Amino acid sequence: MEQKHRNLLRKNRVALARDLEPREVLNYIFQEGVFSERDIETVNSLTTRQTQAERILDILPRRGPRAFPVFCDALY
């Protein structure tokens, strides 16, 4: 992931963690090959929607150059 995209995720972290619906996003980013089954299991093991959203935001920057555009597509 490019540094400018990491910065955008960091600057918008509070709003994203508050408003993100993890289940909707997870299915898409898994389908597009950005997240592995293990990533999905890790996120789903968490008990609150907000902690799941935060974990998604923690994992995304480590998933390569396609992670940010795929994440953005998942939001629409």
**CATH classification at residue 36:** 1.10.533.10
Q: Is the pLDDT of residue 76 over 90?
A: no
Q: How many domains does the chain have?
A: 1
Q: Which amino acid is at 34?
A: V
Max Cα separation, the chain? Answer: 31
Q: What is the pLDDT of residue 36?
A: 97
Please write the tens of the pLDDT for every residue from 19-70. Answer: 999 999 999 999 999 999 999 999 999 999 999 999 999 999 999 999 999 9
pTM of the model: 0.93
Residue 12, phi then psi, degrees to nearest 5: -110, 15
- Contact between 6 and 58 (Cβ < 8 Å): no
**Residue 13 sits in which domain range?**
3-74
